[in-house]
Structure 1
């Protein structure tokens, strides 16, 4: 190479490295954000009924029968305007056992109920806890932001632990 000529190969190498770094950060940032949005979306399906209870039917269910996917039992109202029902259904999970009574919120226009109270709120946000854990791996590996990843992982573990203890 002639000394008077500009060093274009080195400059273009730096530019390509910078472009690749930006592409990696942008794509991993989008992936982490999508994971967190999916966690909120999955949690909000049940959390909206549990957290926004004004005007909703509140009561208790005494679980009488459990099948593969749902448990059912009579509903006893505890809020004004709520109507007693002979049979309502609740999702059959580790949080529901036959013969026990749980505070619930009735989903509008259906016979389906979700758990209410602090246990119901924490249980509704369990998908978000999993999303926080998954996003922490993406943030640590893809974005190389270890402190933020530890915060995300700690938040996810705290949420899942609290839900486990409450349920």
Structure 2
């Protein structure tokens, strides 16, 4: 009995096709990875200006804002300690009489909410970007556990934001 093994030689066309398929798979992973990174970066950049002031007001005057009038796009009120009338831009309605901790941009007269609710609210664009990136990670990269973790973290932060905001 002979134990001769025969190796079948693949054709040039088949080897080229397998190489091209590998290159396409690599290109898909690179493209989807860059897309997810771009989405998260855009969300972070959109959040940064407001989040920076909410997390560390620095030289901005800080105090409390007592709301006097509210509309769908924001509220106005008296800022203490200066007594100036400032505007708090927010899509979530408040009632006149509420008092919030804020920092005020003196050149625009707009208030930014500080504290944990203000910080979470300022990072909302990043949270939305993480939700969108979770879809790209799960669907495009086939990294289901990572996508589930990313989406769950973003949903938890969104829920906490609205629980603290109201």
TM-score band, normalised by the shorter chain?
A: 0.7 to 0.9
Deviates more, 1:118-127 or 1:5-14: 5-14
Instruction: Tell me which of 15, 27, 30 is aligned to 1:26.
Output: 30
Alpha-carbon contact 2:72-2:92 (below 8 Å) kept: no
Question: Quick check: which has more Rg, 1 or 2?
Answer: 2
Q: CA RMSD in A?
A: 2.0
Deviates more, 1:64-73 or 1:155-164: 64-73
Alpha-carbon contact 2:70-2:93 (below 8 Å) kept: no
Counting matched residue pairs gives 159
> How many angstroms does 1:157 deviate by?
1.1
TM normalised by structure 2 equals: 0.88
d(CA) in 2 for partners of 1:5 and 1:153? 47
> How many angstroms does 1:151 deviate by?
1.6
**Unpaired runs of at least 5, structure 1:** 78-83
Does 2:162 match 1:164?
yes
**Unpaired runs of at least 5, structure 2:** 1-7
> How many angstroms does 1:154 deviate by?
1.5
Hey, what does 2:124 align to over in structure 1?
A: 126
Does 2:11 match 1:13?
no
Runs of 4+ displaced beyond 6 Å: none
